[in-house]
Amino acid sequence: MKKQEDLKKRVEEIIKILSKAIPDSRIALRFSNTLELLIATILSAQCTDIKVNQVTMDLFKKYRSARDYAEANLAKLEQEIRPTGFYRNKAKSIQKCCQELVKRFGGEVPKTLEELVTLPGVGRKTANVILGNAFGTPGIVVDTHVHRVSRRIGLTKNDDPVKVEFDLMEIIPKEEWTHFSNLLIWHGRKTCVARKPLCEICPIRKLCDYGSKLKT
């Protein structure tokens, strides 16, 4: 129990420091409604948000509703999202997902994790992105950055994303779940990068298992 209490205190400090260092830690994907965020999040798998935003600039002008995607020419949709990579699988997921939205939810994106994860192409990560950034429902997003940074800092020893999510849920205040996820995502992009983290400029180095052990 003492270790968990220590981790909770460490998380409080991390949130304070990173909130000052990254005051605009909002999600980088551009969207104007929940459906657009859902589509953008599916496209973001193994692709940069910058590239996704370039693709969706035109995509969202053409496809306005779940029915538009559900009834789209699949070959055309594939080519329109091709720059995001894995475009055939993503196009199928988007179309099947939107067909289910039309069939089961009246074309609207559902508001619960339990319903969201029943949609094709939607796992817990995508569901939590939607919940936190569209509906204001707290959710921890374990993407590649949150996975790497939370392990490197020492907030979890698990490797499985779902187990990491549940570990973080135990030590992060629920009202901070979405905010904390966005902070770690930006921190992972800018400072705690994958191959060679920039520990010498890291504002939370003293709170990090990895960084605190390095020689100054």
Q: pLDDT tens digits for 130-172?
A: 999 999 999 999 999 999 999 999 999 999 999 999 999 999 9
Instruction: State the chain's mean pLDDT as an integer.
Output: 96
Q: How many domains does the chain have?
A: 2
Residue 139: closest CA among 149, 152, 148, 126: 126
Q: Are residues 153 and 206 in the same domain?
A: yes
**Average pLDDT rounded to a whole number, residues 181-200:** 96
Residue 214: pLDDT over 80: no
The model's confidence at residue 3, banded by pLDDT at 50, 70 and 90, is confident
167-46-168 Cα angle (round to 5) = 10
**pLDDT category of residue 213 using cuts at 50, 70 and 90:** confident
- For residue 43, the model assigns a pLDDT of 97
- pLDDT value of residue 215: 66
- Asked which of 101, 134, 167 is the last residue of a domain, the reply is 134
* Active-site pick, 24, 49, 51, 143: 143
- 103 in catalytic set: no
Q: Which domain holds residue 191?
A: 2-25+140-213
The reported pLDDT for the residue numbered 216 is: 56
Same domain, 61 and 145: no
120 and 151 share one domain: no
User: CA of 118: how far to CAs of 16, 86, 140, in Å?
Assistant: 36, 21, 18
Same domain, 130 and 146: no
pLDDT at residue 26 tops 70? yes
pLDDT band at 1 (very low <50, low <70, confident <90, very high): low
Sign of dihedral through CA atoms 178, 179, 180, 183? Answer: positive
- The domain boundary, picked from 110, 134, 158, lies at 134
Residues 9 and 99 in one domain: no
Domain containing 188 — which CATH number? 1.10.1670.10
- Over residues 31-87, the pLDDT tens digits come to 999 999 999 999 999 999 999 999 999 999 999 999 999 999 999 999 999 999 999
pTM above 0.75, yes or no: yes
Per residue in 41-59, is it b (16+ CB within 10 Å) or e — as a string?
A: bbbbbebebeebbebbeeb
Is residue 2 over pLDDT 90?
no
Across the range 105-126, mean pLDDT stands at 97
Catalytic residue status for 9: no
Share of the chain above pLDDT 70, in %: 98
Residues 159 and 118 in one domain: no
- Same-domain pairing of 92 and 78: yes
Last residue of a domain, one of 65, 99, 134: 134
**Could you say which of 125, 167, 174, 190 is catalytic?**
125
